[in-house]
Structure 1
Amino acid sequence: MRRHENSLLSLIEPAMYEELAKHAVVVDLVQGDVLADVHDTIDKVYFPHSGIISSVVELAGGGAIETGMIGRDGEFGAGLVLDDKISVNHVAVQVGGFASTFDAKFINQFAERHPAFRRLMMSYEHFHLAQVQQTAACNAVHSVQARTCKWLLRMRELAGDELTVTQQFLAQMMGVRRTSVTGVAIELQKAGMISHSRGRIQILDVEKIRRWACECHEDVQHHYDRLFPPNVG
């Protein structure tokens, strides 16, 4: 387990981290793998080193919309485990990578012995809730173009400039028609901001994407920085 590859793990004091690391199992995050479904009891906690985990609300009519992304700056499962809650969303791997995993019962016991760890995990749950709320407001108010640019910024932050993702998947995650995303992708490519081919998007001009994006990415980042100041750790 490489501590520096997950921002939350890097905030844990060394002695506590050494105890935690003995119980870690590093696993592949395979694109499409389902980590939890609605009403599932959580039996593993994930701290991604790379890749992206998506929290998705699935609708009865067959649609779905993403409410939050979890990458190397976060974790999935700890807050639910500590509060004895079940998953309320469909949670799946959006971009492949690696993660340190822990048995849920161990994490619960570890948090009881280490209040600082519990506080850290609950702070992340507070951030994740803020991300979900910001996403709901963004989906209701902002244009598909602005939302696409916001989504690309967040993806780039977690997975780099070359993204393995289809327009169909992006449309599903944003809760819009594929034709809407295709139109935006053509506009972004004409403006020299991205290049896209089947299943891949290459980011070419991140500053222009930032200018075209809505304020939501920046607002969510401000939430994170207030809870986890960059100069800590």
Structure 2
Amino acid sequence: MQHPQNFLLSRLPADVLSRLAPDLSIIDLIHGDVLAETHGRVEKVYFPHSGIISSVVETLGGGAIETGMIGKDGEFGAMQALDEKLSLNHVVIQVPGSASVISSDRLREIMDTLPVVRGLLIKYEQFFLAQVQQTAACNAIHTVQARMCKWLVRMHDLAGNDIPLTQEFLAQMMGVRRTSVTTVASELQKSGLISYVRGRIRILDLDLTRQWACHCDADVRSHYRRVFEPDRGDD
């Protein structure tokens, strides 16, 4: 069974997961696929095994900025399943991978009958809100270099050392000019932190990248531990 490759599903008791399993299917997450439009309906809930889902705020001028990443440590769509199925953001696959998927209607039924499922998903939404708030503060006060390093560290945690993306996409996600990303990426390459070739970034020195990152990455990790450590049991 591949479903436990997602952290949240792995936290469920075996008997509870076995009750969910018949309603879960495994799909590929394709780069660039849109899971939800702003104010669009969300008919499925996604539990990634790998890859990254981005929650993006779109601006009236046609711009966009990423406010949160969802990977194997989370899910997308559970709270929408409980509340009119509306997405408040544009949600897109940033890095390809795979995920367990369940219909919103079925998950709502399960959450109504199994409090352990509802409780776990509410805890994740609490963490995700903290991540969004941390991102807002980070974008307001930290340098592009520190933010990029933080972003790369988070990407590493979810997708590994090799990250397929263009500088254009990275600039959009960070809400900065492409020239700013190009300048910082060049500095990081010269300092031996990363290599960048043909739309792929490879992290060469993770420890140094963490040192150059702003403290927001550590803060987000702390939020996650505080939310989920009480559930770790004998882990």
User: Counterparts of 1:140 and 1:85 in 2: how far apart (Å)?
Assistant: 31
Q: Equivalent residue of 2:50, what SS?
A: coil
Q: Deviations over 1:80-101 (max 9, x none)?
A: 2123351000000000000000
Equivalent residue number for residue 47 of structure 2: 47
Equivalent residue number for residue 67 of structure 1: 67
The aligned runs of 1:76-87 (5 Å cut-off) are 76-87=76-87
Q: Equivalent residue of 1:76, what SS?
A: coil
Q: Which runs of 4+ in 1 moved over 3 A?
A: 230-233
TM-score normalised by L of structure 1: 0.97
Structure 2 stretches of 5 or more lacking a match?
Answer: none
Q: Equivalent residue of 2:35, what SS?
A: strand
TM-score normalised by L of structure 2: 0.97
Equivalent residue number for residue 38 of structure 1: 38
User: Counterparts of 2:132 and 2:193 in 1: how far apart (Å)?
Assistant: 27
The aligned runs of 1:182-221 (5 Å cut-off) are 182-221=182-221
User: Counterparts of 2:217 and 2:81 in 1: how far apart (Å)?
Assistant: 28
Which amino acid in 2 is paired with 1:55? S
The aligned runs of 1:36-185 (5 Å cut-off) are 36-185=36-185
Equivalent residue number for residue 8 of structure 1: 8
User: Counterparts of 2:66 and 2:218 in 1: how far apart (Å)?
Assistant: 18
Which amino acid in 1 is paired with 2:150? K
Q: Deviations over 1:10-69 (max 9, x none)?
A: 100010000101111101100000000111121100000000000000111111000000
User: Counterparts of 1:88 and 1:226 in 2: how far apart (Å)?
Assistant: 26
Alignment identity in percent? 58
Q: Equivalent residue of 2:42, what SS?
A: coil
Aligned residues: 233
